[in-house]
Amino acid sequence: MLQRTFLGNTVENYLWFLGILLAGLIFKRLLSRLLSAGLFRFFRKNTFEVGAEAFIGLLSAPFQFLIMVVILYFACDRLTFPVEWHLVSDEVFGIRFVLDHLYAGLMVVSITWLILRLVDYFGLVLMARAGRSASKSDDQLIPFLKEGVKVVIAGVGFLVMLGVAFELDIVSLVTGLGIGGLAFALAAKETLENLLGSFTIFLDKPFTVGDQVKVGSIEGHVESIGFRSTRIRAMDKMLVILPNKKMVDAELVNETQRELRRYKLVLALRRDTPPERIRGLVGGLTDYFATRTELVDVPNVHFKEITVNSMDVHAVVVLRIPDGDVFAAVQEEINFNVLAILHQNDCELAPSPNTLVMGGSNSFRADR
């Protein structure tokens, strides 16, 4: 029965075909891990920062794809095409021709995929080493270079695949790309502008990875800078992706590079507050701010205005606190101490419509 023939192949040939495919499906995961672990031995001496599991996790999928391509080749090799189809030649267009070239193209794709994953792994290693350095420039440069190398490898792999699978003349193809380069540049105008914006960011360095920036109404920490866009983690933890062109053209405030921060408050006191209490409040605030070690200059505390509804005491101090989170904590501490000084001098705030506004680094006043 095994020697019975259907479409030019025996039952035994079909069983071999199915058996090889089934074995590949069953053992591809195990084989991919074994191949990844074996390849890791060549790199582990110089890449100890990132362990074997990360390496295996990155290369497992492309190795599985490569294994299935090889398994499919050996499985199809067990079959023969019927002579009467006149499609047995790999030089004449037909099933055999398509399968041979498809297999060659898939091999190029799988090898290119493996190389791209190796680039990702070495990117992880370099980022781990950059994390131990004080400079943030390498944290910004490594992802950019990694994406650039991957684009080049993917482009070369695509050209090789065209040459192998479709038997195209790569030299003529590259020459033709030069002729159509102008049309491509016009079609990809936005992409090229974002690419130029990324180079501007790297050369001018208005911000680096980890900086807290404000672009328009968006404020957050820079997570990564790519070829086309910059990823910002907003204060509400939302991920915002902005084109590099906008990052370059828009008005940008780098909060991380601020060395000094201003604290200003307006105390709108009741109209019937005695002068001696106001004088005591001003003196108490002046003495308190003078004790702050972060103080840059003499504290500016004055009984500034007498309005129809309140007696306004203004205080402005400049603090040497670069970090925004630290400044927020210091603001809170100052606010508690200001409330304590208010109670010590028996001063009360004016009732509505005037309210007390404390803290902040941009505008501080009593609002209606």
The CATH code of the domain at 261-344 is 3.30.70.100
Question: For residue 134, what pLDDT band results from cuts at 50, 70 and 90?
Answer: low
What's the confidence (pLDDT) of residue 340?
A: 93
Q: 240 Cβ partners below 8 Å, 6+ apart?
A: 218, 220, 231, 232, 233, 234
pLDDT at position 367, please?
38
Give the predicted TM-score (pTM) of the model. Answer: 0.54
Lowest mean pLDDT among 17-26, 100-109, 178-187, 276-285: 178-187
- Which long-range contacts link 146-155 to residues 24+ away (Cβ below 8 Å)? 146/119, 146/120, 146/122, 147/226, 147/227, 148/227, 149/119, 150/116, 150/119, 150/120, 151/227, 153/112, 153/115, 153/116, 153/119, 154/112, 154/116
Alpha helices in 205-323 (DSSP H): 244-249, 275-290
Share of the chain above pLDDT 90, in %: 16
The answer to whether the CB of 85 falls within 8 A of the CB of 137 is: no
Buried b (16+ CB within 10 A) or exposed e, 212-233: bbbbeeebbbbebbbbbbbbbe
- At 368, the pLDDT band (50, 70, 90 cuts) reads very low
Average pLDDT over residues 327-337: 90
Mean pLDDT value of segment 130-140: 69
Closest by CA to 39, choosing from 111, 107, 106, 108, is 111
From first CA to last CA, the distance across the chain in angstroms is 96
State the pLDDT at residue 96. 66
User: In this predicted structure, what is the pLDDT of residue 8?
Assistant: 67
40: tokens are 């890791």
Q: Are 176 and 162 in contact (CB under 8 A)?
A: no
pLDDT tens-digit profile of 292-322? 888 888 888 999 988 888 899 999 998 888 7
Is domain 198-254 annotated with CATH 3.40.640.10?
Answer: no
Tokens encoding 92: 């004449």
Give the Cα separation of 81 and 34 in Å (integer): 35
Side-chain half-sphere CA neighbours of 77 within 13 A: 8
Helix (H, G, I), strand (E, B) or coil at 20: helix
User: How many residues are present in the chain?
Assistant: 368
The b-or-e profile of 159-174 (16+ CB within 10 A means b, else e) is: bbbbbbbeeeeeeeee
Computed over every residue of the chain, the mean pLDDT equals: 79
Residue 185 has pLDDT above 60, yes or no: no
What confidence score (pLDDT) does residue 94 get? 61
> Residue ranges of the domains in the chain?
5-179, 198-254, 261-344
